[in-house]
Structure formats: C-alpha cells, structure tokens
C-alpha cells in the first residue's frame, strides 16, 4: 500500500506577512507601547515593507510600465495622506507644519534619495545609466511646478500672516495641483506612454523581458496584498509615531524632524522597489517611481489637506523656510542638469545623494 503523503504547501511569507501586520496593527492600535512592543512593531513594519515591494513588482510586471510604478506611487501616497490627516487631527496646533515637513521631506527623499540611489546602482552595473529624457524631464518639471505652487508661494503671499495660504489661495493651489497631476497621468499613460518606458540597452536585455507575466488571478491577489501591506506600513508607522517623537526629543532633534522620519518610513517600499529595478537595468522604471512619488505626494496631499482644513482647527503652515528654499532650488537645478542628457554616471547619483545628506543634516541642525 502506498503510504506516501503529499507535502503541505507552505504559505509564502509574502502572503502571510501583510495579514500578520494588519493583525498586529489591530492589536496595538490605540495602546501605549512598552519598549519590547515597540521593537516587535518595528520588525513587523520592516517585514511589511519588504512584502509590499514584492507585490508591487508582481503587479508592475503584469500591467507593464508606466502603470506599474504609477500603482505603487499612488497607493503609497493615498495612505500617506490618510496618515498625515490623522496625525494633524489628533495632534492639535503642534502639528500645524507637519504636512509641510512631511511633503517636503518626501520630495527631497524622492528627487535626491531614490533618484540618486537608482542612478548610482544602474551606473555601477552598466557604467552609464540610460533613460528617456523626455519623460523624466516632464516629470521633473511637474514636480518643480507643484512644489512651487504649494510650498514656495505661501512664504511670499501677504493675505495671511506667516507662511500660510488664505482660504481662497489654498483652494486654488489644491485645484491647480490636482489638475496638473491629472494632466501628467494622462500624458504618462495615454498620450506619450513611450516617453516613460525603459530604454533598451545595446547588446543586453532586461531580465524581466525573459519572464512570463503573472496571471490575472496572481496579479489581483498581489494587488490586494499590496494594499493590505501598505495600510499596515502606514498604520504601524502611526502607532510608532509617539516613540518616534519621544526619540527625536530625547536626542535633541527639532520637532520638524518627525515629518522626515515619517516620510522615510512611508517611502521605504518605493525606495527598495526602485533600487531593485535599477539593478535589473530598468532605470526608467526607477525614475518613474522616484519622480512619480514626489509628484503624488504634493498633487494628492494638498487637495486633501485643503478639504480637511474645513474640519480641523488651528493654522496650516505650508511655506518653506529660507534653508529649505535653497535646497529645493538647488535640487531642481541639479535635477535638470541630470535628466536633460538622458544619460548619467555615478557622479550624478552621488551628487543627488549628497543633496539628500545635506537636507537630513540641516533638518537636524537647522
């Protein structure tokens, strides 16, 4: 008699982790965490980030570029916006500048950190990172315009005291940001989609070209698990925020650095996905993620914040300070010089990373 048994199929960790992370989130939500629980939540948060990257790559492989990077950028940003609104609503007047700090940190991390790491990784692989200048240049121009409308102009307007918009000015900035972001998405996905596709390397082919795309069922399952993982990432980041605030205060950093830490945590999935794409030679995919995330952070956050202000008390500080304005201007100039040729070396990647390091250092020592 045949006594052999069929081995059980183990549940992949990429499937188990998002579910586990949501369960942990539900268990700790609203509770004061002891140091041990803070460490456990941090480990689960890191695992959720890694699983989110995996499922984002599955979805991206199924739908192709530029839709894949757009899915991840929008998904992360929508939940990031929910996190910002939640923190502002529960934090009172002390969180008046949280939206500005988080959005500006996201822009600097995306345009210098993710972009710089992607270029450096690709240049180390192929000596020169090659990408589509038309699409990347259009994305950078959109980011620069959105940042100026939403973060620079409030510093110079005079209708309200301080770096704030009046109600009508905030409404205009919200509508303009949403319209410009929508115009870019149409350009990226419909009118000029070829501007945002990876540039083939001579004598080589991207690894994904040899792999069959996943089935619709697999892609839909990954999409659901991606959303689940991102909800867990942002929710656990919210749970960790009191520990983050306490840690920032304990080491003597400015309160505004909390927004930087939140942006770093929320953008981890996109950062890892962009670097992994660059390692496979898909530089354009990495740049789509970097600039698309920066664009979504502004284009979706400002309209939601504008609506939320009708229900929130206290001022909303959006205008950047002088140091931040200089860093933003330098980032735009260096970014233009990087993307115009359509080719970049390790030097361009290192330059953007130095700009990110400067931003982080000055955020700690303003």
Q: What is the per-residue pLDDT across 302-333, written as a single tens digit (0 to 9) for each?
A: 888 888 777 777 678 888 999 999 999 999 99
**8 Å CB contact between 181 and 74:** no
Instruction: Examine residue 307 and state whether it is found in any structural domain, yes or no.
Output: yes
Domain count, the chain: 1
pLDDT at residue 251, rounded to an integer:
82
Banded model confidence at residue 353, pLDDT cuts 50, 70, 90: very high
**What's the rounded Cα separation, in Å, for the pair 234 and 150?**
23
Give the CATH number for residue 152.
Answer: 1.20.1420.30
In 3D, which of 233, 274, 257 has the Cα closest to residue 113? 274
Banded model confidence at residue 4, pLDDT cuts 50, 70, 90: low
Banded model confidence at residue 346, pLDDT cuts 50, 70, 90: very high
Secondary structure of residue 343 in the 3-state scheme: strand
**What's the rounded Cα separation, in Å, for the pair 32 and 240?**
10
Secondary structure of residue 103 in the 3-state scheme: helix
Instruction: Examine residue 300 and state whether it is found in any structural domain, yes or no.
Output: yes
- Lowest pLDDT segment from 117-131, 173-187, 217-231: 217-231
Instruction: Examine residue 70 and state whether it is found in any structural domain, yes or no.
Output: no
Instruction: Examine residue 299 and state whether it is found in any structural domain, yes or no.
Output: yes
- Residue 4 Rama label (left phi>0; alpha psi -120 to 50; beta): beta
Instruction: Examine residue 14 and state whether it is found in any structural domain, yes or no.
Output: no
Helix axes 67-91 and 35-63, enclosed angle (nearest 10): 150
Instruction: Examine residue 32 and state whether it is found in any structural domain, yes or no.
Output: no
Instruction: Examine residue 56 and state whether it is found in any structural domain, yes or no.
Output: no
Q: What is the per-residue pLDDT across 10-32, written as a single tens digit (0 to 9) for each?
A: 778 888 888 888 998 888 887 77
Backbone angles phi, psi at 130, to 5 degrees: -110, 130
Average the pLDDT over 189-199 and give the result. 79
| DSSP result, 149-197 | IIIIHHHH--SSSSS---HHHHHHHHHHHHHHHHHHHHIIIIITGGGGS
Q: What is the per-residue pLDDT across 234-265, written as a single tens digit (0 to 9) for each?
A: 788 778 777 777 887 888 888 788 888 878 87
Could you tell me the pTM of the whole model? 0.81
Instruction: Examine residue 220 and state whether it is found in any structural domain, yes or no.
Output: no
**What's the rounded Cα separation, in Å, for the pair 313 and 33?**
28
Secondary structure of residue 121 in the 3-state scheme: helix
Q: Which domain holds residue 95?
A: 76-204+253-364
Dihedral angle computed from the Cα positions of residues 352, 355, 356 and 360, in that order, rounded to the nearest 10 degrees: 170
**What's the rounded Cα separation, in Å, for the pair 330 and 336?**
10
């Amino acid at each position: 008699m045949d006594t052999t048994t069929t081995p059980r199929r183990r549940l992949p960790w990429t499937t188990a982790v998002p579910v586990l992370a949501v369960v942990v989130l539900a268990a700790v939500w609203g509770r004061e965490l002891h140091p041990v629980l803070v460490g456990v939540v941090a480990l689960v948060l890191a695992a959720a980030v890694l699983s989110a990257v995996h499922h984002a790559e599955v979805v991206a492989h199924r739908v192709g570029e530029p839709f894949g990077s757009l899915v991840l950028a929008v998904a992360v940003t929508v939940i990031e916006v929910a996190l910002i609104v939640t923190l502002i609503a529960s934090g009172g007047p002390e969180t008046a500048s949280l939206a500005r700090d988080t959005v500006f940190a996201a822009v600097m991390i995306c345009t210098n950190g993710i972009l710089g790491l992607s270029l450096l990784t690709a240049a180390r692989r192929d000596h020169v990172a090659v990408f589509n200048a038309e699409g990347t240049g259009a994305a950078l121009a959109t980011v620069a315009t959105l940042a100026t409308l939403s973060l620079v102009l409030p510093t110079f307007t005079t209708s309200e005291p301080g770096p704030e918009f009046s109600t009508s000015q905030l409404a205009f900035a919200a509508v303009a940001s949403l319209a410009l972001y929508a115009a870019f998405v149409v350009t990226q996905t419909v009118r000029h989609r070829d501007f945002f596709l990876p540039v083939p390397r001579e004598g080589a082919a991207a690894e994904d070209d040899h792999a069959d795309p996943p089935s619709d069922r697999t892609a839909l399952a990954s999409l659901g698990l991606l959303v689940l993982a991102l909800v867990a990432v942002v929710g656990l980041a919210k749970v960790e925020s009191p520990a983050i605030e306490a840690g920032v205060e304990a080491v003597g950093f400015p309160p505004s650095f909390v927004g930087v830490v939140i942006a770093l945590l929320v953008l981890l999935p996109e950062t890892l996905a962009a670097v992994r794409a660059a390692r496979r030679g898909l530089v354009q995919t990495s740049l789509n993620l970097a600039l698309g995330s920066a664009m979504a952070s502004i284009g979706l956050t400002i309209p939601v914040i504008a609506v939320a202000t009708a229900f929130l008390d206290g001022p909303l500080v959006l205008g950047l300070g002088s140091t931040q304005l200089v860093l933003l201007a330098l980032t735009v100039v260096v970014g233009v010089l990087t993307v115009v040729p359509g080719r970049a070396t390790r030097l361009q990647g290192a330059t953007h990373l130095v700009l990110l390091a400067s931003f982080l250092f000055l955020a700690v020592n303003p």
